[in-house]
Structure 1
Amino acid sequence: MTETIKILICDDSALIRSILTAILSAEADMEVVGTAIHAKDAREKIKKFNPDVLTLDIEMPGMDGLSFLEKIMTLRPMPVVMISSLTQKGTASTMKAMELGVFEVVGKPTHGLKEKFDIISDDIVSKVRAAATGKVSPINRDAFLDKPEDGIKQTSTEFDLIAIGSSTGGVVAIKEIIPYLSKYSPPVVITQHMPPGYIESLAKRLNEHSKVTVKEAEDNETLQTGYVYIAPGDQHLEVIRSGAIMKTKLSDGETVSGHKPSVDVLFNSIANLSLCKAIGIILTGMGKDGAQGLLSMRERGSKTIGQDEATSVVYGMPKAASEIGAVEDVLPLQKIHTELKALCWPEQR
């Protein structure tokens, strides 16, 4: 018999608390053990009910949700799903929440609440259910400290491209890779599952603390050494050839493997490139998007890496890829940037 997931809902709106309680209580494996109207109330009820998952709004009376989240993740780390209207704006609030270790974010409707919540109810349920089994990482306060020089002196490497796919927990995972990359790194392309509007903030945050240039991908850009291109939240990213030059291609097609942007779309496009020596990396995330694409890359000669279970917030995508033979090397997150250096510049290890 499946254990019941105990949930505490924290929101200052009585209507929102009622709607979320109805949505989550309707699931056979879920129980809303309590609701809270502000941080102090939530703190007491966390002690009383010991919930498995906390849903949290950013805007609350007294201590705001982000400040409370930081205290939680410092003193009593637990899975938190942020449900807030502020998360829809792709602002620094969302980036801060993800950096603090929030499991997932859900944009809270601001009007037509009952109807809009009906539309996103399945998404809320799936994220809360996944959070209950996901890993909680303590806050890494050194994540964006300036990284030491990598010692790379040469500008060339035998690899033409690095491709990364990630989902839940991926924002934190990417932060453990990109700031360590050399300015001589091959072009990097990333598909991270995020809603529209969020990627620009993520790219800006990473760019401020990296030796490479990080940006949201645009259509028909020439891939350059020392640049990182992240797929927009509502378009597929592919890599195509224009003669000897590799370029980005954005498309607004149907979802693939349940997602847009899709990691499979990115990886498959690279697998289909002629004379391209690439490295494919699949990181933490729910589901199996990217597994088949990574297998195609490996079958066509690419080096492939999967994040290990111990350091994955959700060992879904890397596990699916490993199970079908798509992953050549399984590594803890903290060793992936070291492996990239060793692969690209083996004589400078």
Structure 2
Amino acid sequence: MAFAQKNVAAGINPGDDPLKVMVVDDAVVIRGLLTRWLGEDKAIDVVGSHRNGKLAVDDIEKSNPDVVVLDIEMPEMDGMTALPLMLAKKRDLVVIMASTLTRRNAEISLKAMSLGAADYVPKPESTSEVTTSIDFRRELIDKVKALGARARRMKGPARTMRAETRAGRISAPAARAPDPKQINTRDAFRGAPAPVAPSAGRFTTKPYSSARPRVLAIGSSTGGPQALQEVMKQVGTAMNDVPVLITQHMPPTFTSILAEHVGKAALRPSKEGEDGEVLRPGHIYVAPGGKHMVIEKDAGAVKIRLNDGPPVNFCKPAVDPLFDSVAKVFGSASLAVILTGMGHDGANGIGTIASGGGSIITQDEATSVVWGMPGAAAATGLCSDILPLADIGPKLARVLKGNTR
């Protein structure tokens, strides 16, 4: 049955208790629609539905939800006011912000994530668009299930073990990773982590390229905005000699704001890539929402090309096209990174980069918001390092300077 397959893909096993979800939105039609969509999934139990943040905050302790889908603009108490109050009442609560695609709401959504929200879902601007948007429905359910399932796994002994692992007090447990045979599947449910299978010990890694990198390409999705800012802040002046190319799964408007935030963190020029633009060292280029960003060599210069082709891995922009083009242009001087995210976008591109002699770093499971994309990358056996988020920036700084130790 389709729903059973989706539940497994999202990390929710048959027999698990349903995730308890609360919906908070002042629009009665939208609130009812989201409640119905979520309630139709057997892995979800909608335990609360409220028209403003105050009612939701007051109900947190009674309903005890695992996940809250929280609107931003509401009367009496808006989402940003309610967010810290909810988290104060339940520290492990997963809050997913829901906002329309305006610049103001994009800014608020990114700020909310810096204050503890797990992620966001962009709502179509009109009620009629919401009711007919298959993509919005899929993304909402995917994120609720994937983020809710991860939060459950992190509770209790698992959380203690991960904390001690990061502190170096115990050895890391065997990680769970996608089956490499499944990575190329094109009919995977959008946004859901790639199928997982127990790993027989540590992942295989390959040596770094002996060529000094001439480009840094990064792919990320769920949890990516915060991860990108942390990594860019730590790379520092090491990126002076290379252009940085980023594909983050985000809609239009959000990507332009993300570019601004990343630039502030890196203290470097950062913007959405433009078609025909020549790459410049020390500059950061973010793939614009709704377009694939690739690069090509033209008359001795390396230029950005944007295209409006079909989604790849159900994503647009997608990481695979960027990585494929980077490998073609820079070969063994390519350095790529896969950060936190749902799905398996980037795994095929990693194969292309590795075939060309380039190097890949991926984020580890313990520090990933969702270990879909980085898990798929690790499962290829083609990465040179699988690192905690805090270690990725410093490692990149060394590798970009020619030191792979």
> Structure 1 pair 47/337, CA: closer, same or farther in 2 (3 Å)?
same
**Corresponding residue for residue 377 of structure 2:** 321
Q: Give 2:341's match in structure 1, choosing from 268, 285, 303.
A: 285
1:59 equivalent to 2:73? Answer yes
CA distance in 2, matches of 1:233, 1:301: 30
Q: Deviations over 1:66-96 (max 9, x none)?
A: 1222343466242122223366766422221
Q: Give 2:28's match in structure 1, choosing from 3, 14, 38.
A: 14
SS in 2 for 1:56: strand
CA apart distance, 1:242: 2.0
**Corresponding residue for residue 114 of structure 2:** 99
Q: Is the 8 A contact 1:236 1:266 kept in 2?
A: yes
SS in 1 for 2:329: coil
Q: Mean Cα displacement is larger for which, 12-21 or 323-332?
A: 12-21
**Corresponding residue for residue 112 of structure 1:** 128
Q: Mean Cα displacement is larger for which, 220-229 or 11-20?
A: 11-20
SS in 2 for 1:125: helix
Letter in 1 for 2:351: L
**Corresponding residue for residue 214 of structure 2:** 160
Letter in 2 for 1:124: L
Structure in which a larger fraction of residues adopt helix: 2
Q: Give 1:193's match in structure 2, choosing from 249, 252, 264.
A: 249
Q: Is the 8 A contact 2:21 2:45 kept in 1?
A: yes
**Corresponding residue for residue 2 of structure 1:** 16
Q: Mean Cα displacement is larger for which, 83-92 or 54-63?
A: 83-92
SS in 2 for 1:253: coil
> Structure 1 pair 294/207, CA: closer, same or farther in 2 (3 Å)?
same
CA distance in 2, matches of 1:346, 1:274: 16
Larger RCO (CA within 8 A; separation ≥ 6): 2
> Structure 1 pair 210/238, CA: closer, same or farther in 2 (3 Å)?
same
**Corresponding residue for residue 85 of structure 1:** 100
> Structure 1 pair 275/300, CA: closer, same or farther in 2 (3 Å)?
closer
SS in 2 for 1:314: coil
Percent same amino acid among aligned pairs?
37
CA distance in 2, matches of 1:312, 1:39: 28
Q: Mean Cα displacement is larger for which, 69-78 or 91-100?
A: 69-78
> Structure 1 pair 42/57, CA: closer, same or farther in 2 (3 Å)?
same
CA apart distance, 1:159: 1.6
**Corresponding residue for residue 57 of structure 2:** 43
Q: Deviations over 1:103-136 (max 9, x none)?
A: 2323154332673366632332222112212359
Q: Give 2:270's match in structure 1, choosing from 203, 207, 214.
A: 214
Matches within 5 A, 1:141-290: 158-183=212-237, 184-273=240-329, 275=331, 277-290=333-346
**Corresponding residue for residue 137 of structure 2:** 121
Task: Count residues in correspondence.
Answer: 330
SS in 2 for 1:60: coil
Q: Is the 8 A contact 2:72 2:105 kept in 1?
A: no
CA apart distance, 1:193: 0.2
CA apart distance, 1:161: 0.1
SS in 1 for 2:306: strand
Q: Give 2:48's match in structure 1, choosing from 29, 34, 47.
A: 34
CA distance in 2, matches of 1:242, 1:317: 31
SS in 2 for 1:233: coil
**Corresponding residue for residue 134 of structure 1:** 150
SS in 2 for 1:16: helix
**Corresponding residue for residue 140 of structure 1:** none
Q: Is the 8 A contact 2:275 2:306 kept in 1?
A: yes
Q: Is the 8 A contact 2:235 2:394 kept in 1?
A: no
Q: Mean Cα displacement is larger for which, 114-123 or 303-312?
A: 114-123
Q: Deviations over 1:18-59 (max 9, x none)?
A: 222111111111111111222222122211121111011101
CA apart distance, 1:5: 1.1
CA distance in 2, matches of 1:331, 1:33: 37
Q: Give 2:398's match in structure 1, choosing from 333, 338, 342.
A: 342
Q: Deviations over 1:116-158 (max 9, x none)?
A: 3666323322221122123599xxxxxxxxxxxxxxxxxxx93
> Structure 1 pair 337/89, CA: closer, same or farther in 2 (3 Å)?
same
Q: Is the 8 A contact 1:179 1:212 kept in 2?
A: no
CA distance in 2, matches of 1:74, 1:243: 57
CA distance in 1, matches of 2:217, 2:148: 30
Q: Which runs of 5+ in 2 are unaligned?
A: 1-14, 155-210
Q: Which runs of 5+ in 1 are unaligned?
A: 138-156
